[in-house]
Amino acid sequence: MTDKNKKPIYISFATQKGGAGKSSFTILAASIAHYVLKCNVAIIDCDYPQLSIFNMRKRELENIPKNEALKKLVVTKFSEHNKSSYIIENAKTIEAIERAEKITSAQENLDYIFFDLPGTVNQPGILSLIQQMDYIFSPISADRTVMESSLSFLLMLQQLSTEINLYTFWNMVDGREKTNLYNAYNKLLAEYNIPVLETMIPYLLRFHKDAIDYSSEGVFRSTLLAPSRSMLTNSHVGYLCNEIFEIINK
| Cα-based torsion angle of the residue sequence 141, 145, 151, 153 in order, rounded to the nearest 10 degrees | -100
Question: Helix, strand, or coil here: 10?
Answer: strand
End-to-end CA distance of the chain: 23
> CA 58, CA 54: separation in Å to the nearest integer?
7
Are 114 and 30 within 8 A, CB to CB?
yes
Write the CA distances from 116 to 21, 89, 138, integer angstroms: 11, 10, 12
Name 87's bridge partners: 42
More confident residue, 14 or 21: 14
Identify the CATH assignment for 9-248 out of 3.40.50.2300, 1.20.1250.20, 3.40.50.300, 3.90.330.10.
Answer: 3.40.50.300
Phi, psi of 108 (to 5 degrees): -70, 155
190-241: pLDDT as tens digits: 999 999 999 999 987 666 666 555 656 678 889 998 888 888 888 999 999 9
Count of C-beta atoms within a 10 Å radius of residue 92: 15
61-116: pLDDT as tens digits: 988 888 887 788 888 888 777 778 999 999 999 999 999 999 999 987 899 999 99
- Report helix angle 22-31 to 237-248, nearest 10: 70
pLDDT the model gives residue 169: 96
Which segment of 150-154, 175-179, 246-250 scores lowest on mean pLDDT? 175-179
Are 47 and 118 within 8 A, CB to CB?
yes
Count of C-beta atoms within a 10 Å radius of residue 191: 8
- If you average pLDDT over residues 37-57, what whole number do you get? 94
Residue 122: alpha-carbon gap to chain centroid: 21
